[in-house]
Chains A and B, each alone.
Chain A
Amino acid sequence: KQEVTQIPAALSVPEGENLVLNCSFTDSAIYNLQWFRQDPGKGLTSLLLIQSSQREQTSGRLNASLDKSSGRSTLYIAASQPGDSATYLCAVRRDNYGQNFVFGPGTRLSVLP
């Protein structure tokens, strides 16, 4: 059974810092991994999608990497801003159950002005 964990569970940083969020998964048989952002009481916004054959994806100040063999992904946020405060979730698409995505519990990020 695929299990996804995220470390840390919560993170508080001053504005301007670079930071790394971690996502680990137990079964390397995945199609892809997606990072999402969620504001309280709202839906999930897709940030980056990395296919299993890719090593990284970049969008603006965000960079996500994937090491499928070791079951790890990181989300790097450069020059953090208070508007980045949210919960960040990763989700893997399972190789043997294609329609399903398995979500991690999320990292709650607070960026202090």
Chain B
Amino acid sequence: DTEVTQTPKHLVMGMTNKKSLKCEQHMGHRAMYWYKQKAKKPPELMFVYSYEKLSINESVPSRFSPECPNSSLLNLHLHALQPEDSALYLCASTRGGLKEKLFFGSGTQLSVL
């Protein structure tokens, strides 16, 4: 299994809703990432979990709340989002070593109305 699986693939939510994005990998990877990507722009790092602990938070607003329940699963909880938060949200993982390849999921396309 060499996949990073993200669900849902598409999500439409209102500004008062609470929703969650889910990411799962069964490759034994110990570092997991959330990226945000706007159209025709490169991915921007949001959070990094290393060995299930939050190691990097790139000054992301508190309306985005990450969670790593175990080594295979990464969630991103969304609350009171703004229309400008509409983007493709990408999950990625590596084995954890500094020379390892970065694997991406297929993303969740989020629209905030």
Measuring CB to CB, which residues of chain A are less than 8 angstroms from any residue of chain B?
31-32, 34, 36, 41-46, 49, 51, 89, 91, 93, 98-101, 103-106
In the A-B complex, the 9 residue pairs with the closest CB atoms: A103-B42, A43-B106, A43-B104, A44-B104, A43-B107, A99-B48, A49-B101, A98-B98, A31-B98
* Chain A residues, Cβ within 8 Å of B4: 43
Query: Contacts A42-B107, A43-B106, A44-B90 given: A100-B101 contact, CB under 8 Å?
Result: no
* Chain A residues, Cβ within 8 Å of B106: 42-43
Q: How far is the CB of B62 from chain A (nearest CB, A)?
A: 21
Interface residue B88 (Cβ < 8 Å from any Cβ of A): yes
Interface residue B7 (Cβ < 8 Å from any Cβ of A): no
Q: How far is the CB of B36 from chain A (nearest CB, A)?
A: 12
* Chain B residues, Cβ within 8 Å of A45: 104
> Which positions 38-84 of chain B face chain A at CB distance < 8 Å?
40-43, 45, 48, 50, 55-56
